[in-house]
Amino acid sequence: MRLATWNVNSLRSRIGRVEAFLERHDVDVLALQETKARDDQLPLMGLQSMGYEVASAGVNQWNGVAVISRVGLDDVEVGFPGMPGWGDPVAGEARAIGVTCGGVRVWSLYVPNGRKVDDPHYVYKLDWLARLRAAAQPWLDGPTALVGDWNIAPLDEDVFDIAAFARSTHVTAPERAAFQAFLDDGYADVVRPHSPGPGGYTYWDYYRQRFERNRGMRIDFVLGSPAFASAVTGAFVDRDERAGTGASDHAPVVVDLAD
């Protein structure tokens, strides 16, 4: 099974690229973040004609998530227990959706950005991660993948210029500790070993030709439970998808699993 995750930065504006990506890489399951579409705005026709089912959680123009699958799409759950606003999606948050595809529990996650370290959104981000960690501990027993845009660069080498991020979110000690906690619990970053260093960047800002100069960041991750991680046979970042006009500012991350 081939699983991918991608912060698509608007599904409607990039549906052609999504369909081409699925076909180009023969992807079975694709988790999306920043769909920027409500559930009733999804461009489904082409995906369905390609044999995919879609589950989405989108209540506003910002933080929608979705999963596209052609190997089954069951047990759809919007948000995780304890998530801020859980059970009240109209409150404006739709950052997590869990589905079961091909025997794997996949969570598409869009971790809050945090904005600035002195912004209430930064506290909210840390709280959100703590609540996700608590919810995710029982999931370690099965084949589980926590995938998406974590908005954290865990290592200095995950940022093109760590000095430029001295007072920025994404690299602070509390954020990195929150990410590390998932690893300590038993989740594994299944992509880094296959694409180390700057070759594993997943995000490049739109301005200043950051992509052309590979001034990017590694902030999109696939964290696997032991059962998931042991089945991984390979992984890569589809950098080509970030090139050219009309690209998302994030590249897709692809993981292959043994049957």
The answer to whether residue 162 forms part of the interface with DNA (CB under 7 A) is: no
Find the shortest distance in angstroms from Cβ 121 to DNA: 6
Residues 41-70 interacting with DNA (rule: CB under 7 A): 60-63
Binding string, residues 136-155; x marks residues near DNA by CB under 7 A: --------------------
State the Cα–Cα distance between residues 27 and 173, nearest whole angstrom: 35
The answer to whether residue 246 forms part of the interface with DNA (CB under 7 A) is: yes
State the Cα–Cα distance between residues 35 and 257, nearest whole angstrom: 25
Tokens representing residue 246 in the block: 């009309």
Binding string, residues 89-128; x marks residues near DNA by CB under 7 A: -----------------------xx-x-----x-------
214-248 burial: b if 16+ Cβ within 10 Å, else e? ebbbbbbbbbbbeebbebbeebbbbbebbeeeebb
CB 95 within 8 A of CB 112: yes
Residues 174-233 interacting with DNA (rule: CB under 7 A): 206-208
Tokens representing residue 150 in the block: 């974590």
Residues in the interface with DNA (CB under 7 A) total 19
Find the shortest distance in angstroms from Cβ 79 to DNA: 17
Which H or E run contains 233? strand 232-237
Residues at the site binding DNA, with contacts judged by CB under 7 A: 9-10, 12-13, 36-38, 60-63, 112-113, 115, 121, 206-208, 246
